[in-house]
Amino acid sequence: MASKVEIYTRPTCAYSIRAKHLLNSKGIEFTEYSVDGDEPLVMMSTRSNGQHSVPQIFIQDHHIGGCNDLYALEQEGKLDQLLQNLA
């Protein structure tokens, strides 16, 4: 069964590290895909309507966006609502 939270990252990307830190701090398990190779990059771009920047985050197959989008949801109090539906 696929993870309900997926994140496309690059190992040295500060935004990727920051997004993973927020998810980890909330105790959320996620599947991480490194886009260092062509195949994951193509899959990420296809799923995110052409986005090439990392991270790209999906919750229950819904494209959330990048790190700033994830933190904006957190500040608006909407992230916890999305993550509650994972149970």
The predicted pLDDT at position 1 comes to 37
72: containing domain: 5-84
The predicted pLDDT at position 63 comes to 93
Sheet arrangement for strand 56-59 = 31-34, 5-9, 56-59, 62-65
Q: What is the pTM of this model?
A: 0.85
Number of independent structural domains in the chain: 1
Looking at residue 34, which CATH number applies to its domain? 3.40.30.10
Residue 21 CB partners (closer than 8 Å, separation 6+): none
Q: Nearest 5°: phi and psi at 34? A: -80, 130
pLDDT in tens, the chain (87 residues): 345 999 999 989 999 999 999 999 999 999 999 887 667 766 777 788 777 789 999 999 899 999 999 999 999 999 998 888 775
| Beta pairing, strands 62-65 & 31-34 | unpaired
Fill in the DSSP letter of residue 50: S
The predicted pLDDT at position 36 comes to 79
Q: Nearest 5°: phi and psi at 67? A: -60, -50
